Amino acid sequence: MRTELTVNGTVHVLEADPRTSLLDALRHHLGLTGSKKGCDHGQCGACTVIVDGRRINSCLTLACMHDGEAITTIEGLGTPVAMAPLQAAFVDRDAYQCGYCTPGQICSATAMLDEVAAGWPSHVTDDLEAAPDLSDAEISERMSGNLCRCSAYPNIVAAIRDAAEGTR
Amino acid sequence: MRPFDYHRATSSAEAARAVAAPGATVIAGGTNLLDLMKLEVMAPERLIDITRLDLGGIEETGDGGLRIGTLVRNADLAADARVRRDYPVLSRALLAGASGQLRNKATTGGNLMQRTRCYYFYDTAMPCNKREPGSGCGAIGGVTRLHAILGASEHCIATHPSDMAVALLALDATVELEGPEGEGRSVPLADFHRLPGDTPHIETVLQPGEIITAVTLPPPVRGRQVYRKVRDRASYAFALVSVAAVVRMEDGRIAHAALAFGGLAHKPWRDPAVEDLLVGEAPSEALFDRAADRLLADARGQGGNDFKIPLARRTLKAVLADATREAAA
């Protein structure tokens, strides 16, 4: 079926089986292979993209359900010569080993910092009504939907902290 | 994934009519349904996409409660200022569930309709009365760490996985349904989910041709609200045991106690006898033990989940100590 997606600012018209996940549409139909397929069941977060400002698991949604919506993938956040602050922070902090989860980590962290800025609490926030601070415990909890099998978590938390504090 | 027809609904009544057809299923957030479709645990012939309908939004009701549209995402509900202020147990339960990405997709109605995470329901090579009625229960005698200790049957020992529904149950929420002629009805959440009995494949009282349109909360209860979830890892895991409590103290005695439990049964569990036993009494460890005795009087382990019986006792007692201490202060 026909689906129109605006990906990283460019309009694409897709003709695909309704079973096509948003992740497969991005990777196989549009050639944007930055978003990764890990578990394909919403458990690992490697496929995380930002849809209309929200981070979601692109493997667990149908492309056709996003007709007319705006999607940002890792390719839309920055380039090797013009990295986004989070991308630069991940490089600087060596916040990966194999790198497979990294695009999902960075897309997730990008939207997560917006959620903090909007005042959303998390499971570890003491006061539901206060503006959340960005402690290491908060970063870990808010990023728990992104697994890193190399366990680069300490450096991932440090990189996100750097980017959030604008030190990058 | 098996092929299906995709239909984007244009009104709630039209969606209800479309979903009355055999093989048709509503899709909203899709975070559980698509997972199950990939595994062919579910294989709907037709998906009715309701996400373009005007069924979102959180509105105040005339009596001081809140009406939560079925399409309100878990993330938005948890972050809503009124929910955080007046129904904190609901925010806490939502934030204890899933991940940031999933909460951005999962909806209020979809959360109520999600299926069990029983390993044997997910494994199409195993028998499951829920997936294939009459085939038997693979879980009984198997690996039962996640399974029920209350209200189970010889046909099914699965648990309901929701955190949100446990909090909603303690808050006396009502589920609003709409039928194919646009006719509505309201069902207390306590009556929405069913125990397994000999029909574990029928999980709710939702009839063919009905869709959930909203969940309504009564005016907030003064007092202390607590949600405590015990799980195998610190984040992003289903509950082994969870307790939602809404407790109000007056003059050192418990004036109101609403307690709901997750991880224990095929539905979010509430036992009025436990609450009756607490109301009018001064908090004490002996009282909390009597409440746990009452809650767990009919509890039965399956071997791998025997630990849930003492765990439920300890979790309930800890929650009651917390809720009564702070409410008294």
> What CATH number does residue B274 fall under?
3.30.390.50
Starting at the edge strand found earlier in the chain, the sheet holding A10-15 runs A10-15, A2-7, A70-72, A48-51, A54-57
Interface contact flag, A129 B85, Cβ < 8 Å:
yes
Write out the residue range of the structural domain in which residue A90 sits.
85-165
Burial of B125 (0-12, 13-18, 19+ CB in 10 A): exposed
pLDDT in tens, B81-140: 999 999 999 999 999 999 999 999 999 999 999 999 999 999 999 999 999 999 999 999
Interface contact flag, B4 A60, Cβ < 8 Å:
no
Strand segments (E) across chain B: 5-8, 24-27, 46-49, 58-60, 66-69, 174-178, 184-188, 211-217, 224-231, 239-250, 253-262
Direct distance between the N- and C-terminal alpha carbons of chain A, in angstroms, rounded to an integer: 43
pLDDT in tens, B147-198: 999 999 999 999 999 999 999 999 999 999 999 898 999 999 999 999 999 9
Tell me, yes or no, whether A95 and A25 share the same domain. no
pLDDT of residue B327: 44
A 107-126 residues inside an 8 A Cβ radius of B: 108, 111-112, 115, 118-123, 125
Q: Which residue of B has its CA nearest to A127?
A: B84
Tell me, yes or no, whether A46 and A99 share the same domain. no
pLDDT in tens, B194-220: 999 999 999 999 999 999 999 999 999
B144-149 mean pLDDT: 98
Indicate the length of chain B as a whole number. 329
> How many structural domains are present in chain A?
2
Q: For chain A, how are helix, strand and coil distributed in percent, rounded to 5?
A: 40, 15, 45
| Closest to A138 in 3D by CA, of A156, A153, A151, A125 | A125
Where among A56, A76, A96 does a domain terminate? A76
B313 falls within a domain: yes
Cα separations in angstroms, B21 against B36, B95, B167, B184, B207: 20, 35, 33, 19, 12
For residue B154, how many other CB atoms are within 10 A of its CB?
12
B79 falls within a domain: no
| DSSP structural state of residue B129 | T
Interface contact flag, A145 B101, Cβ < 8 Å:
yes
Residue A103 to chain B, least CA–CA distance (Å): 14
- Is some CB atom of chain B closer than 8 A to the CB atom of A33? no
Query: Which of A42, A112, A128 lies closest to B102 in CB terms?
Result: A42
The pLDDT confidence band at residue A159, using thresholds 50, 70 and 90, is very high
Question: Residue-wise over A51-84: b if at least 16 C-beta within 10 A, else e?
Answer: beebbbbbbbbbbbbbbeebbbbbbbbbeeeebb
pLDDT of residue B288: 98
Burial of B251 (0-12, 13-18, 19+ CB in 10 A): exposed
What would the two tokens of residue B185 be? 């009805």
Pairing type for strands B174-178 and B184-188 reads: antiparallel
Rounded to whole angstroms, the Cα distance separating B27 from B4 reads 12
Residues of B with CB under 8 A from a CB of A: 1, 3-6, 27, 30-31, 34-35, 38, 47, 49, 51, 75, 78-79, 81, 84-85, 88, 91-92, 95-96, 98-102, 104-105, 234-236
Tell me, yes or no, whether A38 and A7 share the same domain. yes
pLDDT of residue B25: 97
What would the two tokens of residue B64 be? 């001081």
Rounded to whole angstroms, the Cα distance separating B121 from B291 reads 33
Interface contact flag, A65 B104, Cβ < 8 Å:
no
Tell me, yes or no, whether A69 and A20 share the same domain. yes
Task: Answer whether 0.90 is exceeded by the pTM.
Answer: yes
Where among A76, A100, A122 does a domain terminate? A76
Rounded to whole angstroms, the Cα distance separating B33 from B37 reads 6
pLDDT at position B37 over 70: yes
| Closest to B260 in 3D by CA, of B299, B293, B225, B217 | B225
DSSP three-state, residue A104: helix
pLDDT at position B16 over 90: yes
> How many structural domains are present in chain B?
2
**Alpha helices, DSSP H, located in B221-271:** none
B88 falls within a domain: no
pLDDT of residue A34: 98
pLDDT of residue B82: 98
| Closest to A96 in 3D by CA, of A160, A139, A39, A6 | A160
ipTM of the complex: 0.98
Query: Which of A21, A121, A141 lies closest to B235 in CB terms?
Result: A141
Starting at the edge strand found earlier in the chain, the sheet holding B211-217 runs B58-60, B66-69, B211-217, B174-178, B184-188
- Is some CB atom of chain B closer than 8 A to the CB atom of A71? no
Write out the residue range of the structural domain in which residue B229 sits.
224-324
Mean pLDDT of chain B: 97
Cα separations in angstroms, B164 against B24, B169, B313: 26, 9, 21
CATH number of the domain where residue B11 is located: 3.30.43.10
What would the two tokens of residue B66 be? 């809140």
Tell me, yes or no, whether A9 and A64 share the same domain. yes
pLDDT at position A168 over 80: no
pLDDT in tens, A56-83: 999 999 999 999 999 999 999 999 999 9
Where among A10, A43, A76 does a domain terminate? A76
